[in-house]
Structure 1
Amino acid sequence: MIELTINGQKRRVDAESDTPLLWVLRDDLGMTGTKYGCGVAQCGACSVLVDGSVMRSCVTPVEAVAGRKVTTIEAMEKDAVGAKVVEAWVKHQVPQCGYCQSGQVMAATSLLKQNAKPTDADVEAAMVNLCRCGTYNAIKAAVRDVAGLEAKA
């Protein structure tokens, strides 16, 4: 049994220590907001926050997060910064197909928690998750909005 803290709740899971966190979240705990994309930590659809920093759950062994705080998309609206990010995502109509968006929201929330006033270069460096629909301009606009930065024409 591995004890995890997910979205502020202690959870015990019966999983092999090297099982990817993604599969524990989705299959064992029924938290399907975190998506499987590529399985090799390239796309970011599986992004969660671990102790406030964005992490790719598809390659993170569940034992690596034991005793740490894991936050998933299911808890974003309960977080002050996360709620602002979700609100900006809606305002700027960021999602198209929506598949990557939980990971995008997690990456943006992590960025804004670490740097409330990121530069465009900071946003570009942090927002590296892939979006097959190409919503990058809307993502950048939403992040700038939450940061209170003027929109660029």
Structure 2
Amino acid sequence: MFKTLITLSFALLLTACSNKSGLSPTVSTSGFDNAKIVTITPHGNASDSMIATGIGAQWSSATPDLVLLQVAIFNDISAITGAELNIDGNKIKLYATKGITDFNSSSVKQSIKSFSTKLSVVRDIVNSEKTWVRVSTPTGSMENAIIDGETDSKAFYALQRFLLAIDSK
């Protein structure tokens, strides 16, 4: 009986830590132009460190070919000065929106900055074998995998859910 209880507890623990878990995207309608808005909050990339990067996104049907990628640093307060993606060897520089790095969070230290890119870039990420993000700060850069073969992340599955919400009618 004790052995069964230990096995069930271990299985529950593994399920709770699954990278496939995470928040669902929010879907709303803009009062300004009646556009469909899809947002997924930043989820963590693959990392063995407490301070790590994450990716979220926002899309509007008013600009259907563009997306805002929300690049995050979790458990640290630091200005985000740049971001790049490496999708299956194709390096893509992301262009920051004119806003500043957002440090507002009620529960954890985090920094978030939005970067504009094409929606096709997000589709390329979820169809890739290997995607890494490099986040630049005034004191250096951080790199984490979104997906790298068998190494996946919560951000990878969050972007899949994000695209499903966009593609649903």
Which TM-score bucket, shorter chain as reference?
A: under 0.3
Which has the larger strand fraction? 2
Q: TM-score, normalised by structure 1?
A: 0.25
Identify the structure with the greater helix proportion: 1
Using the size of structure 2 for normalisation, the TM-score is: 0.23
Q: Which has the larger radius of gyration?
A: 2
